[in-house]
Structure 1
Amino acid sequence: MTIQDYLNKIEALQRKKTKIAFLDDDDFEFCVQKINQSAESFFMLDDLLQKFSVIHINSDIVKLSANGLGLLFLEERESGNICFASSDELRPEYRQSFKLVDFLDYVYAFMHSLVYKESQKIIVPSEKDFFWKLAKIGSDLRK
């Protein structure tokens, strides 16, 4: 699935073209509630997805999230075996950066939460651990 396909899938989910299956997972909702309790900022999905002829990402929101997490946002995947920093084998608590697909996985998972259902807001996480847990859940949902 390309990034553009993923953006279209997220947009369809938001527009209720696809039914949101709210997850019945206590660990998932615990993570979302923790993120919600420590929330200092949030964004609306319409603010993230800028629509022209194709959907684009609002880079200011990605930067806001990167700053809140204290992580570096990598716009493109490095080619070759430059370092272990972006390896999928690296445990999440040691990661220092994230990619667009990680961020979209987080957004996609968050859209399946009761917090999103009630507020239509996506909370900018401040704790890396919860970000990576939701990104993993979003990745599983995407696949």
Structure 2
Amino acid sequence: MGFERSCCFLFFFLTVGLASSSPSTHISYDALRVQRGRGLVEKFYVKNDCPVDFGKEDMTPLTSKCRGPHYNPLTCCTGFKQITCKYLPLINKLNNGCATGLFYHVNRRGGYPDGLFDQICHDDPQGLSCTTVLGRSNGNKGRN
């Protein structure tokens, strides 16, 4: 009985460890919350190790479709994912400045209110799912 119990605990911890170490397919809600409040103002005071210059990123998938004053969650969140899912691991790593830099440029170009995407974009408990966007972008890469 003790051996079986030990095996069950070992299996549980291995399963949890493998699940947490697998690459994420979601933009974390913590990354979305970066766009709120002083985070964008502090962008210039925080160490920025992000290798992406979001100032040069094409934001038209978002800015051409997501317009106020009544922001449609479907079109806004789809456009948002088209930009962010390409940089998923960088955006989710909160201490590198990528999420802050992304929101700074998204809000600057689109004139979006603070916290918009955090308020209107919700998929599941893990965050915003990038599986459909990543699947499409991988398919397009094969055709080039």
Comparing both chains, which one has the higher relative contact order based on Cα–Cα distances under 8 Å and sequence gaps of 6 or more?
2
Q: TM-score, normalised by structure 2?
A: 0.26
Q: TM-score, normalised by structure 1?
A: 0.26
Judging by fraction of residues, say which structure has more helix. Answer: 2
Which is higher, the Rg of structure 1 or of structure 2?
A: 2
Judging by fraction of residues, say which structure has more strand. Answer: 1
